[in-house]
Amino acid sequence: MNFDNKTVWITGASSGIGKGLALAFSSSGANVILSSRNKSKLNEVKSACNNPDKVQILPLDLADFSSFEEKVKTANNFFNGIDILVNNGGISQRSYAVDTELKVDQQIFEVNYFGTIALTKAVLPYFISKKDGQIVVISSIMGKLGTPLRSAYAGSKHALHGFFDSLRAELYQDNIKVTIICPGYVNTDVSKNALTTDGSKFEELDEATANGLSPEEFANKALKAISKQKREIIIAGTKEKTGVYLKRFFPSILLM
């Protein structure tokens, strides 16, 4: 896993999985661009990196599509180009569909789906012009199956799989790779920041999330998959992986 002279742009990089990926890429020799809405936390992540002199901060709101063209220009100028875009930013959910206001469903899709594809589309012309590049999508086990309290979140992740599977086929001739990574439970603040019925935060740490993989363990496995340019990989515990295979071969079991 040598990413020397590679420039990696990570969204949602201020905490959790994004922070873990930033630290891992920095330790592997990459130039790293960190993006999220929280500039102060991004600076904390930069300071924690092995090579902070090879890290740049680029505040970004995934719901502000109109800013992406300018953000891509800035990102390209930091280290004379981008090699890997890691679409990690997103919002989770903890509410039943029947109780969830439509504006919450829309907010989750705006960030998780439309924000991700809009930023990817803003980067694509550059990748296509140089006939090289890798797009990494941090999806979820929820991109493979659905569970209670995650309807909009699962929907947004399922949509990402459809879009990026199609995009991979379209970009094959341009030598641009697409890697979809599906995490199971990772010990982050994702449940605390998850949206509830009216859009307010859940503010609690799920037991399953608390017992999940560490961000460091997840990041190390993710970097191996990215370096091998895998098409898709599940990084999760046995329970989550079993759920994916049950959904595929014995779907009725998950409804019991």
Residues forming the active site: 153
Phi and psi based region of residue 80 (left: phi greater than 0; alpha: psi -120 to 50; beta: remaining)? left
d(C-alpha 216, C-alpha 53), whole Å: 21
Q: What 8-state DSSP symbol labels residue 93?
A: B
Neighbour-count burial for 144-167, b at 16+ CB within 10 Å, e otherwise: bbbeebbbbbbbbbbbbbebbeeb
For residue 112, the one-letter residue type is N
Neighbour-count burial for 62-95, b at 16+ CB within 10 Å, e otherwise: beebebbeebbeebbebbebbbbbbbbbbbbbbb
As to burial, measured by CB atoms within 10 angstroms (0-12 exposed, 13-18 middle, 19+ buried), residue 131 is: exposed
Count of Cβ atoms closer than 10 Å to residue 181 Cβ: 25
In 3D space, the residue among 21, 30, 22 whose CA is nearest the CA of residue 2 turns out to be 30
d(C-alpha 256, C-alpha 245), whole Å: 16
d(C-alpha 237, C-alpha 183), whole Å: 9
Q: Are 134 and 179 in contact (CB under 8 A)?
A: yes
